[in-house]
């Protein structure tokens, strides 16, 4: 049987620590995209839930559940935005300022306001259900 010869060529040169991209630089991009996605899903879900809540006034539990789901999505988008902004602060260089501004403006600030709005509507529906 023939064997494969052993390769005696030198190993490829290693990159130094200054040339490596830190893991947090890749992480904050992924986290900010996830925050933006959750914000979009929560906003669309809140618009849909307002339509469902108007149609299901006679069944307040269904209206409350339809408002809780997008509110939870918006709150998780706020959490991911906070996480992404914290990781952005730890990176050595900031290449995408527009993504940082979009992460701070949409999922963090607007998502927090819309989640408060959704929570308030859910509370109103639950209070009206008790009457």
**DSSP line for 43-102:** HHHHHHHHHHHHHTTT-HHHHHHHHHHHHHHHHHHHHHHHHHHHHHHHSS----HHHHHH
If we measure between CA atoms, which residue out of 78, 82, 75 comes closest to residue 28? 82
Residue 17 has a pLDDT of 47
Please say if the pLDDT value at position 58 is more than 60: yes
pLDDT, tens only, 91-114: 765 666 777 777 778 888 888 898
Alpha carbon distance 118, 65 (integer Å): 11
CB–CB of 80/29 below 8 Å?
no
Tell me, what's the pLDDT at 106? 81
- Degrees to nearest 5, angle at CA 43 with 107 and 97: 25
Q: What is the pLDDT of residue 4?
A: 66
Nearest-CA neighbor of 114 among 34, 37, 33, 47?
Answer: 47
**What pLDDT score does 13 carry?**
59
Both structure tokens of 121:
């509507």
Pick from 101, 96, 97, 103: which is nearest to 77 by CA?
103
Residue 70 has pLDDT above 80, yes or no: yes
Q: pLDDT tens, 1-50?
A: 666 666 666 665 555 444 545 555 567 788 888 988 999 999 999 999 98
- In the prediction, which pLDDT does 23 show? 52
pLDDT bin (cut points 50, 70, 90) of residue 85 is confident
Classify residue 45 by burial, with Cβ atoms within 10 Å: 0-12, 13-18, 19+. buried
Q: Once rounded to an integer, what is the mean pLDDT over residues 48-61?
A: 84
């Amino acid at each position: 049987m023939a064997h494969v010869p052993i390769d005696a060529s030198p190993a490829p040169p290693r990159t130094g620590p200054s040339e490596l991209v830190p893991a947090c630089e890749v992480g904050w991009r992924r986290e900010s995209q996830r925050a933006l996605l959750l914000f979009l899903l929560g906003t669309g879900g809140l618009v849909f839930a307002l339509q469902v809540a108007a149609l299901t006034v006679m069944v307040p539990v269904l209206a409350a559940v339809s408002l809780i789901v997008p509110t939870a999505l918006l709150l998780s988008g706020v959490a991911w935005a906070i996480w992404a902004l914290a990781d952005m602060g730890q990176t050595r260089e900031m290449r995408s300022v527009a993504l940082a501004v979009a992460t701070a403006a949409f999922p963090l600030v607007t998502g927090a306001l819309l989640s408060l709005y959704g929570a308030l509507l859910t509370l109103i529906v639950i209070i009206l259900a008790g009457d």
